[in-house]
Amino acid sequence: MSPTEPQRHDDTARPIKPSRNPSEESPWVFWRSVVITLAVALGIRQFLLEARYIPSGSMLPGLQIQDRLLVEKLSYRGRAPRRGEIVVFHAPHHFDPVLVSQTGGGGPLQCLLVNLPLIGALPDVQRPACDAFIKRVIGLPGDHVVVDPLGRVKIDGRALNEPYVKKYCPVDSRGMGPCRTLDAVVPSGHVLVLGDNRGNSWDGRFWPGGHFLPQREIIGRAFWRFYPFQAWGSLGPTSPPAP
């Protein structure tokens, strides 16, 4: 090319160099991807969002057995739970002193292993303290809560509007029944949680070591039902604050 000839860009196609055979890759490449994927999935589940299903009828009729829910874990880092919200929390065997003394509780590592799909299916590793419960927030710190034999609630002397409750406790001619009553003030840092199915819910009325759920034991707020598809939608809250 002469000095006066303009320089031209080289737009010619270059041959592609053959890539290495995947079989020649280090095994660490595969396992590194697996470890990163698991770490991201566990991180999301631990700190942001997880899916849960309903195993019992304690929240009937609003939540049916086998409903699939999304539980978010960010709201309660910036605020306290609100009345009417549905929360998922560690089983009472994790924090109730009487139940912990009976079952031995469960450490974080043990519960992590129990909640893994394959290991958790083994009967010998099951621990009640590693289970999770789902109930509705009814009483807030400082509330004077009265629950009558039917399961109806008064907050500071006024009836709580609970349109989600359709199943109350059975009572006899004297107004007595199998459900526990409650008359107490919710302490600081705690909430009272009850099942919507008042006649069939093992909730704060029955816990032997105390009636109230420590807020630190709450895993997250159930906010969305994604299955079955015909029931898809938000979970509330569906009750206004007590007057």
Q: Concatenated DSSP letters for 171-226?
A: --TTS--SSPPEEEEPPTTEEEEE-SBTTS--STTT-TT-S-EEGGGEEEEEEEEE
Hey, what are 43's tokens? 């991180």
- Distance, CA of 8 to chain centre: 65
Rg for the chain, CA atoms, rounded = 27
What pLDDT, on the 0 to 100 scale, is given for residue 236?
Answer: 74
**Rounded to an integer, what distance in angstroms lies between the CA atom of residue 132 and that of residue 105?**
13
Largest CA distance in the chain: 114
**How many Cβ atoms are within 10 Å of 137's Cβ, its own excluded?**
23
What pLDDT, on the 0 to 100 scale, is given for residue 96?
Answer: 95
**Rounded to an integer, what distance in angstroms lies between the CA atom of residue 55 and that of residue 47?**
23
What pLDDT, on the 0 to 100 scale, is given for residue 113?
Answer: 65
Asked, as a colleague might, if the bond just before 61 is cis with ω within 30 of 0, I would say yes
Read off the amino acid at residue 85: E
Strand partners, 34: none
**Rounded to an integer, what distance in angstroms lies between the CA atom of residue 136 and that of residue 184?**
18
DSSP state of 167: B
* pLDDT tens digits in sequence order for the chain, 243 residues long: 555 555 555 555 555 555 555 555 567 766 666 666 655 555 555 556 899 989 999 999 999 999 999 999 999 999 999 999 999 999 999 999 999 998 877 666 667 666 665 544 555 556 788 889 999 999 999 999 999 999 999 999 999 999 999 999 999 988 888 999 999 999 999 999 999 999 999 999 999 999 999 999 999 999 999 999 999 999 976 655 655
**Rounded to an integer, what distance in angstroms lies between the CA atom of residue 27 and that of residue 116?**
25
Question: CB of 132 within 8 A of CB of 90?
Answer: yes
Question: CB of 217 within 8 A of CB of 193?
Answer: no
Residue recorded with tokens 């080289």: 10
**For residue 83, what are the CA distances in angstroms to 71, 80, 161, 176, 219?**
17, 10, 11, 27, 16
DSSP state of 83: T
Domains of the chain: 52-91+131-234 (2.10.109.10)
Residues with catalytic roles? 58, 135
Name, in order, each residue with C-beta under 8 angstroms of 96's C-beta and a sequence gap of 6 or more: 207, 208, 209, 210
